[in-house]
């Protein structure tokens, strides 16, 4: 099957439905969204809006193929072709994540024993960037995100919440992903770091990235958003 996307469209969800069956709660079903359509173009930053529980994080995870929607498709422009992540083989999903689709979750999934600088350098070296240059770029980004150099050799497991979040952001933003999915990346940051991350996001979409993001902070939303999508309308009664 070949799917197509209009020239500028980087990601399109079509008729997406996601529900959860709570087996340990007597099989109660939560219908999170149904018939959901959205698309994001190059250079856009689409804000997912809606109250707590509206399904914003579930949608982002579905776009990243972390959650498997019950129906619909998630079409992603990957290099010179279009991949439907809902139908793709696991190896294809990994390939799309490696090169095309970056995801920043609210919390760092801590990787034991790997030094911070290696976590941020590795995505570049695996893409063939010269190791010295990769380390240089990783260091520049960690400095910009105010991670003290004394911490670079340590694994982030013992870092503060905000430090872990900034390492998480660095691991994604060190690459120039064509598509970025951001789930409250500024939630645990102070004002200065929030501004730095706001700048990184703005630079990314001005350079052409297509971004879908969830931001609690109204100032951040106003600074980075080019359009918003309200999920409340898609919430289905259980
Ligand atoms: N893994 C899961 N298993 C069962 N239910 C889930 C799961 N993930 C999400 N849900 C349910 O789906 C609904 C939407 O949750 P989701 O986390 O997507 O909301 P949200 O809009 O991101 O909210 P918030 O603003 O509080 O982060 C909630 O009712 C939640 O309980
Ligand atoms: Mg959420």
- pLDDT, one tens digit per residue, over 68-121 is 999 999 999 999 999 999 999 999 999 999 999 999 988 777 777 999 999 999
Atom nearest to 61 CA in ligand 1: 18
Ligand 1 binding pocket mutation candidate from 18, 20, 34, 51 (most atoms within 8 A of CB): 20
The mean pLDDT of the chain is 92
Q: Which ligand is nearest to the CA of 20?
A: 1
Ligand 1 binding pocket mutation candidate from 21, 22, 30, 231 (most atoms within 8 A of CB): 30
- pLDDT, one tens digit per residue, over 147-189 is 999 999 999 999 999 999 999 999 999 999 999 999 999 988 9
Q: Is 138 helix (H, G, I), strand (E, B) or coil?
A: helix
State the pLDDT confidence band at 234, using cuts at 50, 70 and 90: low
What tokens appear for 225 in the block? Answer: 């958003």
Q: Give the CATH number of domain 1-100+210-238.
A: 3.40.50.300
Ligand 1 centroid – CA 217 distance (Å): 19
- Percent share of the chain, pLDDT over 90: 83
Nearest CA to ligand 1 atom 14: 55
Q: Is pLDDT of 238 > 60?
A: no
Ligand 2 centroid – CA 56 distance (Å): 5
The DSSP-derived string for 117-163 is HHHHHHHHHTTT--HHHHHHHHHHHHHHTT--GGGTTS-GGGS-HHH
Q: Is pLDDT of 1 > 60?
A: no
177/149 Cα distance (integer angstroms)? 25
User: Picking from 20-24, 179-183, 210-214, which range would have the lowest pLDDT averaged per residue?
Assistant: 20-24
């Amino acid at each position: 099957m070949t799917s197509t996307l209009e020239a500028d469209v980087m990601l399109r969800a079509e008729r997406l439905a996601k529900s959860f069956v709570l087996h340990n709660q007597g099989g109660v079903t939560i219908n999170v969204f149904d018939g959901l359509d959205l698309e994001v173009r190059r250079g856009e930053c689409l804000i997912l809006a809606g109250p707590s529980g509206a399904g914003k994080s579930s949608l982002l995870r579905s776009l990243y193929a972390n959650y498997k929607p019950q129906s619909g498709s998630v079409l992603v422009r990957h290099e010179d072709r279009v991949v439907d992540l809902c139908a793709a083989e696991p190896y294809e999903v990994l390939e799309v994540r490696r090169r095309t689709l970056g995801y920043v979750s609210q919390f760092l999934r801590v990787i034991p024993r790997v030094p911070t600088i290696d976590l941020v350098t590795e995505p570049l070296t695996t893409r063939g960037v010269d190791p010295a240059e990769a380390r240089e770029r990783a260091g520049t980004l960690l400095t910009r995100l105010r991670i003290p150099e004394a911490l670079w050799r340590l694994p982030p497991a013992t870092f503060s919440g905000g430090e872990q979040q900034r390492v998480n952001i660095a691991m994604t933003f060190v690459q120039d992903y064509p598509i970025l999915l951001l789930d409250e990346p500024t939630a645990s940051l102070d004002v200065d770091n929030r501004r730095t991350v706001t700048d990184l996001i703005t630079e990314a979409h001005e350079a052409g990235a297509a971004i879908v993001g969830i931001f609690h902070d109204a100032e951040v939303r106003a600074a980075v958003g080019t359009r918003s999508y309200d999920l409340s309308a898609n919430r289905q009664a259980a």
